[in-house]
Chains A and B, each alone.
Chain A
Amino acid sequence: MVELKITNLRASVEGKEILKGVDFDVKGGEIHALMGPNGAGKSTLGNVLIGHPNYAIEGGSIMLDGNNLTEKTPEERARAGLFLAFQSPISIPGVKISSFLRTAYKQLHPEDKVTVTEFFNRVKEHLRFVGLDESFMSRSVNDGFSGGERKRFEILQMAILKPKIVVLDEIDSGLDVDALRLVAEEIIKYHNSEVGFLIITHYQRILRNIDPDFVHILMNGKIVRNGDKSLALKIEEEGYDWIKE
């Protein structure tokens, strides 16, 4: 049973506390949406989950299927099954997508003895699904990509690398309507009882394409409301002002 358990998580950046005790669980098959106004600490949460060195965990824990990830390196977290689609994925000139994906896949799924050709065919297929050209195979990681291309490539990685917990940080920003639809389809296709989703978003644009089971509102580093889809709709209509801590 897949389960990400976040308990009383507190974290700081450059000595400033951003997350002040966050609790929630994401189980396999569930889709959670984390919403909140600018500066609430949403992206901090994504970065803390993946183990960004600039973010210091001050307390609490991150558990995935009983493994304590709190002190783990980013690659150990990835190998445990955690995946973050970055808000602004960085470009790495000269590092070819083909060799990047292959190296990562071998690390994450050493048991899968897929051949190179088979693997690349898989990548090509998914490139098509997310609306990227096959020629991206020979391009460098995010190098010279538009904002939208970067987001599509993040989703492609999700589909290829097969994580158990998927954290999507503002995946809808920089995508036009058609691209958003493609990306949402890819997410829904990947969604099953063995995968849990955490969708971090400011607006509920992406939530029109994907129905969340749970909605959490983060404000000033704390979860201030928990609810279901109706909470997201209320936010869309009324914004965040009505919520008072």
Chain B
Amino acid sequence: MEQFSDLLKTRLKDPAYDFRQDSFLNYLKTPRRTHKESPTVKDYVDFSEKDLENMATGIYGKLDLEPGGRDCDILIGNGQIVSKKELKGVKISNIEESLDDLPPAVWEKKGKDREEFLINASWNTGYFLNIQKDREVKVTIDAYNNGSDSGSEKNIIFIGAFSKVNIIESRYTEGEAKGNPTQGKATYIFMGEGSTLEYNYLQDKSTGVSDITFVRTYQEKSSTFKIFHINHGSGKLLFVNESTQEGNESDYRVFGASFSNGRQSIDVRDSSFQIGKSTSADIQVRGVVKGSSSTIHRGNVDIELPSVLSSGFYDSKILLLSKEGYANSKPGLIIRNNNTRSKHGSAISNVDKEQILYLESRGIDEKTSTMLITGGFIESIIEKSNNEKFIETVREYSKDINF
């Protein structure tokens, strides 16, 4: 981290310097999770100090991508915009070129987690996507990172008041992954009053890459945030998604699915932080575990004292399909006032034998039955998306699971 500290000093002229400095201090002051509450420390997705240092000191270079033939509106290579289509009411620019345009609110949101602090201190690329108010748009973003690069990105999304937006963002790697790179990104979404965002996030990076992603959303009054997140690739993965529901009557829905196979380890966290009155949060995550991989789902439904008449639900289900696999869930409920409804549930098991029997009794063999049930398990989450391309991609992942 000494190296990063030196690196940070060279950014004195960066308008975000203060923010970076605060973030780095926060990072230094936050102890590494000690997991004292659990005897199985080894089973957490563990990013070593070396991984984090790689990420912090890594500087993404330019990534050459061929824009032609890709079915997307915006193509991003190593955090830099390679090509973009003109979309009405949509402005997208590289973050380092937009620093002066960003409202001060962006620099007030410093995050909560250790790895997130470090990303906020170290990013060198990313995008600023600004959608004006009263628009109805659909944006397709394909983003690639060089498989061997370490580095971090900061992305900012603004959704103007009363706009209805559908984003599909796919994250891939280009080329081979060499030298255990760690790639981080923090995407902060600011949602105006009455706006609606459906964010379809899909990550399928090379298994040689460690990926750390934070999606943090701030919801104003009567906004609706719906996130579909699919985590399929990366050898080590930390995905954290949390919405701060400051606005009254804000609505937050999460539909997540993770696939782990081989020696992958995946840590998916989805939380609500409800402050406004009459807010609702509904989190549903599914996981499929194969090979000697591990998956952990966690997250809190956190309803604070002023958030009366609110509801929060968390539901995690993991299918543990292999002998060497490992599944873990740690849902939390933090309820600080009594005028609320909340519930969480989690279940871990193999494919239900009764379900297999039912399909078998209709003449379908065991293998096909298992495939159908597993596919259905994921389908029940993604079918709520309004994005066909997204749904199709995820269906392919379900089909890929070998039994």
Contacts and interface: CB of A to CB of B under 8 A. Distances in A.
B379 interface: yes
Given A100-B372, A103-B364, A74 B357 contact: yes
Nearest to A92: B355
Nearest to B352: A90
Interface string A18-57: 0000000000000000000000000000000011110000
Interface in B353-389: 353-355, 357-366, 368-369, 372-373, 375-381, 383
Contacts of B379: 94-96, 140
A51 B353 CA distance: 12
Given A94-B377, A95-B359, A104-B362, 16 more contacts: A50-B361, A75-B361, A75-B364, A78-B360, A84-B361, A92-B376, A93-B376, A94-B376, A94-B383, A95-B375, A103-B372, A107-B362, A107-B363, A108-B363, A140-B379, A143-B380
Interface of B: 352-355, 357-366, 368-369, 372-373, 375-381, 383
A90 B360 contact: no
Contacts of B360: 51, 73-75, 78
Chain A's interface size range is 20 to 34
Interface string A59-87: 00000000000000111011100011010
Contacts of A86: 358, 361
B317 to A, nearest CB: 9
19 contacts: A74-B360, A75-B361, A75-B365, A75-B369, A84-B361, A90-B358, A92-B359, A92-B372, A94-B375, A94-B378, A95-B373, A95-B375, A95-B379, A100-B372, A103-B368, A104-B362, A107-B363, A141-B358, A141-B376
B234 to A, nearest CB: 25
B258 to A, nearest CB: 16
Contact of B376 (A50, A96, A104): A96
A89 interface: yes
A99 interface: yes
Contacts of B353: 53
Given A84-B361, A103-B368, A90 B378 contact: no
Contact of B380 (A53, A103, A140): A140
A99 B375 CA distance: 11
A184 interface: no
Contacts of A83: 361
Contacts of A95: 359, 372-373, 375-376, 379
B359 A100 contact: yes
A56 to B, nearest CB: 15
B377 A93 contact: yes
A99 B361 contact: no
Given A93-B380, A96-B379, A78 B363 contact: yes
Contacts of B364: 75, 103-104, 107
Contacts of A74: 357, 360-361
A75 B354 contact: no
A218 interface: no
A73 B355 CA distance: 15
Nearest to A101: B362
B375 A104 contact: no
A92 B361 CA distance: 14
A99 B362 contact: no
Interface string A130-157: 0000000000110100000000000001
Complex A-B, nearest 3 residue pairs according to Cβ-Cβ distance, in ascending order = A94-B376, A95-B376, A94-B380
B359 A104 contact: yes
B401 to A, nearest CB: 14
Contacts of A223: none
B380 A75 contact: no
